[in-house]
Amino acid sequence: MTDSPVLLITGAGSGIGAATARHVVTAGWRVALAARSQDMLEALASELGGEDTAISVKCDVTSWDDQQAAVAAALEAFGRLDASLANAGVGAKRGFLEETVEHWKAMIDTNVYGCALSIRAALTHFRGQNAGHMLLTGSVAGRRALPGSLYSATKWAVTAMGEGLRAEVADSPLRVTLIEPGMVDTPFFDDRPSGALAPDDVARAVVYAVSQPAHVDVNEILVRPVNQPL
């Protein structure tokens, strides 16, 4: 697999990130798994075949040093980086009188600032090689305002970053894809939802996007459970 393409995934320890890692490795990719939970990452990397196929990188996405180190680790381990998925995210209860203000700040820092740092860290490398694919995990909540949802506002920001990045790199062959899941059954929820997507459903959307020919840029993928109305 020494010539296989490489995907860096933040928030890779569980949920959509871990599922995506499993699916892209099956599709012939190698992965750099980045998250704060080193134990979960190391177990997943071992499951996926070890250092020839998957590496783990401890990364707080709100740290610029950590984001740069994750890109550097992927390049050192595999000699290339072809795509990056900014997937790390934090949720919050709806209602502007809910949650603590400290939780709000942590969510904004992770979902907005962290996503921007992921873009910046990968873009430096992608610009240098004049090739690359930036993927962002947005949400249905980034397409419509949910009642009392600051989380929704953070995902609107991710949508805007995707559009802004696509416009910025229009002079190059770089690609940008916004993945917008509806309700997904992941540890993101305290009360696990029924009738939701599985993380594997979203992972298959990522595989579709990164598997297209170089001249095809899948701008957005909106994927929802059957009968989710909005």
What proportion of the chain, given as a percentage, has pLDDT over 90? 82
Is residue 218 in a domain?
Answer: yes
**Is residue 148 in a domain?**
yes
pLDDT at 62: 97
pLDDT at 174 over 90: yes
Query: For position 70, which CATH number holds?
Result: 3.40.50.720
Mean pLDDT for all residues in the chain: 93
pLDDT score, position 144? 87
The answer to whether 217 touches 177, Cβ cutoff 8 Å, is yes
The pLDDT-based confidence of 192 (bands split at 50, 70, 90) is low
pLDDT band at 194 (very low <50, low <70, confident <90, very high): confident
Q: 1 in a domain, yes or no?
A: no
Q: Mean pLDDT throughout 54-83? A: 97
Q: What is the pTM of this model?
A: 0.93
In this model, does residue 88 exceed pLDDT 70? yes
Residue spans of beta strands (DSSP E) within the chain = 6-10, 30-35, 54-58, 83-86, 133-137, 175-181, 220-223
Per the structure, the count of domains in the chain is: 1
Residue 228: pLDDT band with limits 50, 70, 90: confident
Q: Which residue range is the domain that position 164 belongs to? A: 6-223
**Domain annotation covers residue 176:** yes
Structural domain includes residue 137: yes
What per-residue confidence (pLDDT) applies to 110? 97
Task: Indicate whether 229 belongs to any domain.
Answer: no
DSSP letters spanning 109-153: IIIIIHHHHHHHHHHHHHHHHT--EEEEE--GGGTSPPTT-HHHH
pLDDT at position 48 = 94
pLDDT tens-digit readout, 8-29: 999 999 999 999 999 999 999 9
Contact 158, 142 (CB under 8 A): yes
Whether 23 is in a domain gets the answer: yes
pLDDT value at residue 52: 93
Give CA–CA dist 179/130, Å, rounded: 23
Starting at the edge strand that comes first in sequence, how are the strands of the sheet with 54-58 ordered?
54-58, 30-35, 6-10, 83-86, 133-137, 175-181, 220-223
Residue 151 designated active-site: yes
Tell me the range of 37-46, 144-153, 163-172 where mean pLDDT is highest.
Answer: 163-172
How many Å apart are CA 224 and CA 230, to the nearest integer?
A: 9
* Euclidean distance between CA atoms 169 and 174, whole angstroms: 6
User: What pLDDT, on a 0 to 100 scale, did the predictor assign at position 42?
Assistant: 93
Residue 228 in any domain: the answer is no
**115: exposed, middle or buried (Cβ count in 10 Å: 0-12, 13-18, 19+):** buried
Residue 188 has pLDDT above 80, yes or no: no
pLDDT tens for each residue of 105-154: 999 999 999 999 999 999 999 999 999 999 999 999 898 888 989 999 99
Active-site position among 151, 156, 169, 177? 151
